[in-house]
Structure 1
Amino acid sequence: MAEAMNEFVAVLQEARTWREIALITQSPLNRSELARGHVYQQWAADNRHRTQRQFIKALRNRSPFADVLARRPATEEVECEYAGEPAEGIGAAHLMGGLCVSLPVATAWHRSWLEADFRVLAENDRGEPEIRETTESVRHASRTIDLKPHEAWGRASGLGAVLSAAQLWDGRADFFPSLRFLPRVKQDLDALQLPALIQVRTLLERLERSAAGWDPSQEPIPAWQGAKITPEHAQRSRLCHFTDTRGEDHCYGLARTLHPGRRRLTRPSPRSGRGPPPAGAGRRVGGRGARTAG
């Protein structure tokens, strides 16, 4: 266990060289079971680990991650599973746009990405509740070598430090120079709680990478980087017409569903030679009890 904890602390120390970080855990560390039969307090009580213990304490966010995630209505709860087991910590790390860390106590954790299954109660096109299931890639590390694919992301601390709608909106030209935004996106961002805002921030970062490498003379739409963008159904696409900043009407018929499932980030359907802006980031258009995203 001491060897695994040494590697765990090394992961945190390496990530700490990238940017300011916080360690968020499900329960108070003193009561946390690091691995089956091994409690954190047992390790921390050994004075040989005093320096490492102090380092962890300095990173520790004293609120469990259930408190970090803003409260959501029960109908919007998200469930996460990994390898067939409930994985609230993995889900929380993903929803907060963070890195999941674990102890390297088994080879199953020796990887940089975890493929986790998410289930969310959402509305279908008829406004009826349904369970929507997706598989998401979650950033993860249990060894320092696992951090390598995440280093560029981790060092991009400017966008990672944005934790308010005002910051995201005011910095949009610097963070997303290849994207344009309809003015009404601002009100959508203002209405988002922090977990949803972070998801939108992450998706906009991926859309920026996609748009930056896109040549519209060669391809009708970008090659989406780490974002599953899908067309709206025909019945809903008629609700997705908006006027852009040039006074031109576009059908924003491409969307990415966020967790919780009734939130969408909408984009225009492809048109040759132009890249109209994201329309909005909010509740799905035309959803029962939902406001317009636009």
Structure 2
Amino acid sequence: MAFVTFLNELSFPSGQLNAHDAVAVVVGLVKTLRALKVIHADTALHSSVSLPNIPLGEGLWLGPVMSAGEARDEWRYIRSIQNRSPFTAGLVNPVGGETEYQHGGVTAAALGLSHALGTLAVSFPTEGWLHATINVQRLHLDAKGKIDEDTVSVVHVAVPEHIATNEEWIRSAWIAKVADGDELWQRRAELFPHLKFRPDVEAQLQVLKPGDVLLASVGTALMDIELALSTWRPSDEKYPAFKTRVSPEGETRSRMFRWKDLDGVERDFDLHSRYTPGAGRVHFWCDRRDGTATVGHVGEKLPD
């Protein structure tokens, strides 16, 4: 399943651009997409028009400009990204016929879809779009014919630095699109590159069914550990800087969590994070040798 993003049509370059400047704008977009694919290798970019037909100012279009030879590598790269245009193809009224998103008084189709579907908006690095979030107006026509309006924020990238700013959201948002615990297990290496799992965890994850509220809780708990590991410097720090409560078991209970690691060596898995509802626990062991962690248990708190 691809990580779907929407290309903001309001960021398409406008006005008078020479070919060199037009190429530079596209190269900027490619840099952002390359940085995004480090996190999600299966990124798909959906646009309102096919990529070759995207306007780059007056009288210029992306296909002819990029195929002229100044940036052929970037042109090959951008063509390699899965693209659907128009981006409403295959989407059954995702926003709703009574709802419209606007930015600056202009309909914002891609930004609206990104917000409605809970995914990422991508822009060309043009004036007005160099922000990691974009506020848009959401207008909704209620059953009485009255228009309600509110302002919502769309997570957005236009330069590689925005991906660093939004990295936690970009990683975590994908958890919501995992269908069930079996998919979570099957895609564990992709979603959690710094986590390894004892074989027992497979069955513990596979009991999580579609629609189970615990699915999102478990996925978020694992992602919180993954994000902490991704910035861990084991040579300088004993443990990662966890953003949620992580603690070891007390002396008496800690003996219960001495289990064999994947290499057959017994290790202490008493370090744990928590999730709800219930008394959910993720027990793991941090490996300072390579900056990873092995997960030994995902489930309810084990009784004494």
CA positional deviation for 1:28:
1.4
CA distance in 2: counterparts of 1:102 and 1:148, whole angstroms: 16
Amino acid at match of 1:17: V
1:148 partner SS: helix
Q: Name 2:79's counterpart in structure 1.
A: 57
CA positional deviation for 1:52:
1.5
- Relative to structure 1, is the Cα distance of residues 147 and 36 closer, same or farther in structure 2, using a 3 angstrom cutoff? farther
1:5 aligns with 2:26: yes
Q: Name 2:172's counterpart in structure 1.
A: 156
CA distance in 1: counterparts of 2:173 and 2:94, whole angstroms: 27
Conservation of the 8 A alpha-carbon contact between 2:28 and 2:125: yes
Q: Name 1:136's counterpart in structure 2.
A: 152
Which structure 2 segments of 5+ residues have no match?
1-21, 184-208, 221-243, 246-275, 279-304
CA positional deviation for 1:12:
0.4
Q: Name 1:240's counterpart in structure 2.
A: none
- Relative to structure 1, is the Cα distance of residues 26 and 174 closer, same or farther in structure 2, using a 3 angstrom cutoff? same
Write out aligned runs for 1:1-294 (5 A): 1-19=22-40, 20-71=42-93, 76-106=97-127, 108-123=128-143, 128-156=144-172, 159-162=175-178, 169=210, 172-176=213-217
Conservation of the 8 A alpha-carbon contact between 2:51 and 2:62: yes
CA distance in 2: counterparts of 1:89 and 1:105, whole angstroms: 16
Conservation of the 8 A alpha-carbon contact between 2:123 and 2:129: yes
1:10 partner SS: helix
TM-score by length of 1: 0.52
Conservation of the 8 A alpha-carbon contact between 2:94 and 2:116: no
Q: How many residues in Structure 1 have an aligned counterpart in Structure 2? A: 178
Conservation of the 8 A alpha-carbon contact between 2:98 and 2:142: no
Q: Percent identity?
A: 22
CA positional deviation for 1:23:
0.4
CA distance in 2: counterparts of 1:154 and 1:91, whole angstroms: 17
Q: CA deviation digits over 1:183-231, x for unaligned, max 9?
A: xxxxxxxxxxxxxxxxxxxxxxxxxxxxx89xxxxxxxxxxxxxxxxxx
CA distance in 2: counterparts of 1:40 and 1:159, whole angstroms: 34
Amino acid at match of 2:169: W
Amino acid at match of 1:114: I
- Relative to structure 1, is the Cα distance of residues 153 and 36 closer, same or farther in structure 2, using a 3 angstrom cutoff? farther
Conservation of the 8 A alpha-carbon contact between 1:101 and 1:141: yes
CA distance in 2: counterparts of 1:70 and 1:163, whole angstroms: 19
TM-score by length of 2: 0.50
Which structure 1 segments of 5+ residues have no match?
180-211, 214-274, 278-294
Q: Name 1:289's counterpart in structure 2.
A: none
Conservation of the 8 A alpha-carbon contact between 2:119 and 2:173: no
Conservation of the 8 A alpha-carbon contact between 1:43 and 1:49: no
Amino acid at match of 2:30: V
Conservation of the 8 A alpha-carbon contact between 1:117 and 1:136: yes
